[in-house]
Structure 1
Amino acid sequence: MFFSIIIPLYNRPQEIKELLETLLLQTYKQFEVLVIEDGSVNDAADIVKTFAGQLDLRYFVKPNEGQGFTRNFGFERAKGDYFIIFDSDCLIPPDYLEIVNRSLKANPLDMYGGPDASHPSFTPIQKAISYSMTSPFTTGGIRGNKKSIGQFHPRSFNMGVSRKVWEKVGGFIITRSGEDIEYSIRVHTAGFRIGLIPDAKVFHKRRTNFLQFYKQIHFFGRARINIYKFFPNELKAVHFFPSVFTLGLIFTLLANIAGWPIALFCNVMLLILIMLIFFHSLIKNRSAKIAFLSIITAFIQLTAYGLGFMQDIWRRLILKQF
């Protein structure tokens, strides 16, 4: 099987350098790489040139349209039997393509997704963010695992699509704000087989500080309402959990300020959640510092998603603003 790796890029030259360095180490060699510069001001042309002759690599520059339509640009030019999408802030284990090739031969899928993990080189904050994005105590618990609620939806930081899917379904029809989930729902509706390849993990850096992480997750919360506009049945009870948590946090604060008796119960429940996050992260990361930071990132994830979710319920569903 020949793979086409498609990487949209926007103002992140250093990230693409690190990603391409990991692709040099792939044990499975039947692949090409398409790097598509999506209207970047700070482009990676000089960096990409240094990989010429080392990778089967093509570099494109196009006006800014967002990551969804940029991936379509790559699909249109890809030569492979199977297209693989990575975000530019990922590092790829050396056996990734070998694992995917072996898995697809044993268990053919028309579309797959893989999980993300924390790399030893990540900063403590990045490791804490990685924990909160995969934790069972946040919405991360429904991402990248076999026990997903409902149909599994691959995420575009680590997604594979067969050429057959591209030829029948086409590509992304929205370019941002939940575009990967919308796409996977259409692929599933068209009758194609979708699944998780658990061992096909990538090391996903995500954001490097709390503020960047908050902005990203706030956008994810808003994106869920965008998906709802296309597929109302895909809005599940679990998607309301961050909003319920956020409102509960606000209520707990008010109860403590007002001296209401219920404040004690709220404080105990909050303390239990904090302890669960701390000790679970401590077991996974073997670091008290990362465990402490995981409490912060978990609360950021839940409140940012909850606020973004509620914002667009109010703006798009109640006020009908678009």
Structure 2
Amino acid sequence: MKKISIVIPMFNEAEHIQRTIISAIQSATFAGLQYEVIAVDNNSSDNSKALAEQLGATVIVKPDLKIGALRNAGAEITDGDYIAFLDADIEVPHDWLTSCLALHSKGNDVIALDCDTPPQAPWFARVWQKRSMSKSGADRYLDWLATPNLFLTRDIFTSVGGFNSQLASGEDKEFGLRLHAQAAKQVSIAQPAALHWGYEKTWTEWFKKEFWRQSSHIHLLTSQKNLRLARFPILCSLTTLSTFLFILISLSKSISSSWPFLVLSLITPALLALRQSDYRSDFTYTCKLCFLHWLRLHIGFAAIINSAYKLIKREKL
């Protein structure tokens, strides 16, 4: 019987960790796999560790490590034929691993489920999560997969040396792009979808999470040396500059001269929203997504400037 090692990094996830572990165990059992659950605790101050241990998980405590290093630490002590990485706030369906094994048997290397949010999530969390899901309902081959849930063989994982342990965020993209460079087939399953229970409950949470997500973009760009990764900083800069000029000119009471800059600041968000939504059937969703992209580009600009400043300051020391 094949064995799967399920690695779950966590930090203060008492609200979600048992739901995640129970769903993972049920899926492994349904798939007829032996399993082990490794929870890698980033020195939680709540009772996450005890809750995970109650369900039979092996918990190792690794304080002061970034997310990629936590995943690597968990993978290092596993012995399964397959490795699955789960975020601690994800609930997978019972046929998660059955679906992954079926696609793996057809020659696919790295497999993930699309992620959705529970219906009680606020509108901005639901809209933002939905943008990453398949619009046609069909499985998709992608250059990289996010890691809320990720299934692959041990050999594939070790072939690229695991995750980048220095990135504070974006480690899943960097990992996936290295796999893509080795011609790994990475597929996202449209159905069944996993549920993301750690959705942003407030605007403050959403802003903080987006700032964190973009905080490693400079490091990612320099480590990958992929010009495609420069597009996001450029788009952030152009959008923010257009907004700044709109405000500056408006304050000088030249409203008629300022509105073109507002339009310019909306072009990129609108194009991104149109690409990620079925705007013909859900115009309201597209408008909401455009607004969120507009906010994200400004947050991204602030995060990139902040990370560049820290990088320059560190190099001077």
TM-score surpassing 0.5?
Answer: yes
SS in 1 for 2:118: coil
Determine the structure 1 residue equivalent to 2:31: 28
Determine the structure 2 residue equivalent to 1:9: 10
Determine the structure 2 residue equivalent to 1:215: 208
Aligned length: 304
* Among candidates 207, 229, 238, match of residue 236 of structure 1: 229
**How big is each residue's C-alpha offset from its partner over 1:86-140, in whole Å with a ceiling of 9 and x where there is no partner?**
111222122221111111111331x344432233243334213324x5399xxxx
Query: Distance in 1 between the 2:176 and 2:37 partners?
Result: 22
C-alpha contact (below 8 Å) 2:133/2:190 kept by paired residues: no
Query: Distance in 2 between the 1:296 and 1:312 partners?
Result: 24
**How big is each residue's C-alpha offset from its partner over 1:209-234, in whole Å with a ceiling of 9 and x where there is no partner?**
22222122222223111112212225
Determine the structure 2 residue equivalent to 1:251: 245
Query: Given the alignment of the two structures, is residue 165 of structure 1 paired with residue 156 of structure 2, yes or no?
Result: yes
Query: Distance in 1 between the 2:94 and 2:101 partners?
Result: 13
**How big is each residue's C-alpha offset from its partner over 1:243-262, in whole Å with a ceiling of 9 and x where there is no partner?**
32222222222232221543
Instruction: State how 1:172-321 maps to structure 2 within 5 Å.
Output: 172-175=163-166, 176-189=168-181, 191=182, 193-199=184-190, 201-204=193-196, 205-239=198-232, 240-258=234-252, 259=254, 261-268=256-263, 294=289, 297-313=292-308, 315-316=310-311, 320=315
Query: Distance in 2 between the 1:172 and 1:276 partners?
Result: 28
Determine the structure 2 residue equivalent to 1:90: 90
Measured at CA, do residues 277 and 173 of structure 1 come closer, stay the same or move farther in structure 2, by a change above 3 Å? closer
**Structure 1 runs not aligned, ≥5 long:** none
Shift of 1:6: 0.7
SS in 1 for 2:216: helix
Query: Distance in 1 between the 2:283 and 2:161 partners?
Result: 45
Measured at CA, do residues 285 and 318 of structure 1 come closer, stay the same or move farther in structure 2, by a change above 3 Å? farther
RMSD of aligned C-alpha atoms?
A: 3.7
C-alpha contact (below 8 Å) 2:9/2:42 kept by paired residues: yes
Measured at CA, do residues 237 and 84 of structure 1 come closer, stay the same or move farther in structure 2, by a change above 3 Å? same
SS in 2 for 1:4: strand
Letter in 2 for 1:13: A
C-alpha contact (below 8 Å) 2:221/2:229 kept by paired residues: no
SS in 1 for 2:144: coil
Identity of aligned residues (%): 18
C-alpha contact (below 8 Å) 2:67/2:169 kept by paired residues: no
Letter in 2 for 1:9: M
Query: Distance in 2 between the 1:163 and 1:295 partners?
Result: 39
**Structure 2 runs not aligned, ≥5 long:** none
Q: TM-score, normalised by structure 2?
A: 0.78
Query: Distance in 1 between the 2:264 and 2:10 partners?
Result: 43
SS in 2 for 1:83: strand
Letter in 2 for 1:241: L
Moved more, 219-228 or 26-35: 26-35
Query: Distance in 2 between the 1:264 and 1:245 partners?
Result: 14
C-alpha contact (below 8 Å) 2:141/2:185 kept by paired residues: no
Query: Given the alignment of the two structures, is residue 40 of structure 1 paired with residue 44 of structure 2, yes or no?
Result: yes
Query: Distance in 1 between the 2:49 and 2:229 partners?
Result: 43
Shift of 1:67: 1.9
Q: TM-score, normalised by structure 1?
A: 0.77
Query: Distance in 1 between the 2:26 and 2:59 partners?
Result: 20
Of the two structures, which has the highest relative contact order with CA contacts closer than 8 Å and spacing of 6 or more?
1
SS in 2 for 1:75: helix
